């Protein structure tokens, strides 16, 4: 198991380019199931979750290849296995995104209940209820969802009990080939949902209302192939901007979309940071001591839950205190104890964290517990005095493309260390799982 070693205390300066968004790319890959022709993908990030989704599509019979221009081609015309086995999806919750397209295309599907980060319950009940409203018969047994709809999906009016991004994306894709009109009320408004709708429209789907809480999909007989473009990763963008701020530096992220990060940029401006934006770039720089500001995570256009850990790390070194409330996931404060090991002053009260700024953090051995928590620990380590060793960094590989390389471009002292050897009571042995 690898670890990341960081020697902190160095202000980061410079410019890095945003990668394509993981959370946009995963549903974009799933939409290939619906297409009657090959789909060509641009700006697909090279991440573990992306590789898992590509492997899953290949398992189903799709032809999955990269060309000499690093474009990904997916051709599902010969796909004949509408299944997603546990062995392939156990590490990725987004695997549930294939359920709607498989059911729409093949009229049957068998998909393992997904795995992924242990940040709280993210049940797919809302997905299943929506598909049932569209006429599907669904059973859940032995960890698998089995669904069938012999006469094809029918349009329906679906009102989500709570905002769900993957639920919105799943049912939107299912509705593309359904008979009649489907209305999704209380739909997610995230940029990744809009990216998916844009891509589906480019391939022949009839969708309107994306970006609002009511999406209308009018079913079509088929969609064709074509080019699909992934938006910039707003979470990665904000993470690198925060890396500049937490170290007292000045960082610009290019090929990004400032409109997707308005809530984050407002908060760092309130904290006292300099924020400058252009058409496709964002710059954040320190102008003195940052001050603590309060923040609640909310569905888009509110402050993203995926940036809560990174923002908390920043607030650990801000003047005064801040109150951070997590309203999306019930178990997303697992990074708090690790930050405390580094010298942070944080008190938890249910879903609320009270962060009192300290003058410095100190390097320490810490453990990543999920994807975004690991990013928060990397940020804290960049600012901390001395060496920090972050273990279980396979989490970060699920969502950050070439993170060590990009941080080194900005001046960070960071390296990855392989831990293939363990020591127990003076006896050295090789971990057989490596």
CA 328 to CA 144: how far, in whole Å? Answer: 26
Burial of 264 (0-12, 13-18, 19+ CB in 10 A): buried
Task: Decide: 269 and 430 in contact? Cβ < 8 Å.
Answer: no
For tokens 């051709």, name the residue: 75
The predicted structure's pLDDT at residue 371: 84
Domains of the chain, start order: 3-19+232-424 (3.65.10.10), 22-229 (3.65.10.10)
* Closest C-alpha among 79, 18, 41 to residue 199: 41
Residue among 76, 117, 284, 316 flagged as catalytic: 117
CA 230 to CA 25: how far, in whole Å? Answer: 6
Task: Decide: 345 and 322 in contact? Cβ < 8 Å.
Answer: no
CA 85 to CA 414: how far, in whole Å? Answer: 37
The predicted structure's pLDDT at residue 419: 61
* Pairing mode of beta strands 144-148, 72-75: unpaired
The predicted structure's pLDDT at residue 214: 98
For tokens 């429209």, name the residue: 201
117 a catalytic residue: yes
- CA-CA-CA-CA dihedral for 349, 350, 353, 356, to nearest 10: 10
Q: Residue 324 forms beta bridges with which residues?
A: 295, 353
Structure tokens at 278: 């252009």
Structure tokens at 174: 């299912």
CA 371 to CA 373: how far, in whole Å? Answer: 6
Structure tokens at 276: 């400058």
Q: How many CB atoms lie within 10 A of CB 70?
A: 11
CA 159 to CA 269: how far, in whole Å? Answer: 36
The predicted structure's pLDDT at residue 2: 87
CA angle, corner 289, sides to 286 and 291, nearest 5?
A: 105
Structure tokens at 322: 């801040």
CA 287 to CA 419: how far, in whole Å? Answer: 40
Structure tokens at 299: 């569905």
**What are the pLDDT tens digits along the chain (434 aa)?**
789 999 999 999 999 999 999 999 999 999 999 999 999 999 999 998 899 999 999 999 999 999 999 999 999 999 999 999 998 887 777 788 999 999 999 999 999 986 543 434 446 889 999 999 999 999 988 889 999 999 999 999 999 999 999 999 999 999 999 999 999 999 999 999 999 999 999 999 999 999 999 999 999 999 999 999 999 999 999 999 999 999 999 999 999 999 999 999 999 999 999 999 999 999 999 999 999 999 999 999 999 999 999 999 999 999 999 999 999 876 678 899 999 999 999 999 999 999 999 999 999 999 988 888 899 999 999 999 999 999 988 889 888 999 999 999 999 999 999 865 433 333 333 333 33
Task: Decide: 414 and 408 in contact? Cβ < 8 Å.
Answer: yes
Q: To 10 degrees, what angle do helices 308-315 and 371-383 make?
A: 20
Task: Decide: 415 and 374 in contact? Cβ < 8 Å.
Answer: no
For residue 60, give the DSSP letter.
T
| Stretch (H or E) spanning 167 | helix 165-176
Task: Decide: 48 and 31 in contact? Cβ < 8 Å.
Answer: no
Residue 51's contacts (CB-CB under 8 Å, 6 or more residues apart) are: none
CA 307 to CA 319: how far, in whole Å? Answer: 20
């Amino acid at each position: 198991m690898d670890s990341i070693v960081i020697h902190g205390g160095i202000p980061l300066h410079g410019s890095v380019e945003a990668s394509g968004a993981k959370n946009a790319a995963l549903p974009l890959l799933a939409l290939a199931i619906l297409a009657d022709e090959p789909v060509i993908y641009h700006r697909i990030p090279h991440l573990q979750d992306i590789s898992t989704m590509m492997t899953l599509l290949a398992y189903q019979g799709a032809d999955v290849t990269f060309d000499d221009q690093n474009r990904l081609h997916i051709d599902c015309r010969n796909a004949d296995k509408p299944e997603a086995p546990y062995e392939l999806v156990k590490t990725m919750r987004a695997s549930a995104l294939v359920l709607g397209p498989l059911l729409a295309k093949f009229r049957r599907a068998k998909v393992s209940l997904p795995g992924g980060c242990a940040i709280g319950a993210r049940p797919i009940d809302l997905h299943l209820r929506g598909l049932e409203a569209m006429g599907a018969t669904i059973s859940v047994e032995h960890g698998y969802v089995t669904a069938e709809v012999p006469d094809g999906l029918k349009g329906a009016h679906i009102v989500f009990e709570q905002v769900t991004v993957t639920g919105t994306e799943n049912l939107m894709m299912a509705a593309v080939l359904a008979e009649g009109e489907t209305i999704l009320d209380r739909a997610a408004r995230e940029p990744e949902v809009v990216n998916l709708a844009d891509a589906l429209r480019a391939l022949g789907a009839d969708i309107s209302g994306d970006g609002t809480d009511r999406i209308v999909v009018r079913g079509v007989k088929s969609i064709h192939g074509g080019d699909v473009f992934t938006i910039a990763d707003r979470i990665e963008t904000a993470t690198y901007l925060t890396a500049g701020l937490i170290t007292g530096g000045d960082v610009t992220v290019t090929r990004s979309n400032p409109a997707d990060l308005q809530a984050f940029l407002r908060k760092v401006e309130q904290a006292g940071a300099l924020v400058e934006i252009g058409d496709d770039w964002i710059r954040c720089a320190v102008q003195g001591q940052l001050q603590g500001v309060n923040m609640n995570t909310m569905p888009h256009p509110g402050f993203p839950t995926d940036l809560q850990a990174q923002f908390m790390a920043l607030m650990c070194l801000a003047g005064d205190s801040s109150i951070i409330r997590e309203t999306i996931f019930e178990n997303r404060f697992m990074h708090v104890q690790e930050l405390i090991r580094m010298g942070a002053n944080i008190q938890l009260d249910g879903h609320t964290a009270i962060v009192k700024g300290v003058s410095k953090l100190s390097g320490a051995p810490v453990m990543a517990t999920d994807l975004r928590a690991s990013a928060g620990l990397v940020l804290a380590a960049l600012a901390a005095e001395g060496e920090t060793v972050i273990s279980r960094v396979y989490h970060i590989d699920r969502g950050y493309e070439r993170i060590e390389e990009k941080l080194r471009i900005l001046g960070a002292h960071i390296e990855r260390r392989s831990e293939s050897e363990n020591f127990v009571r003076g006896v050295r042995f090789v971990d057989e799982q490596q």
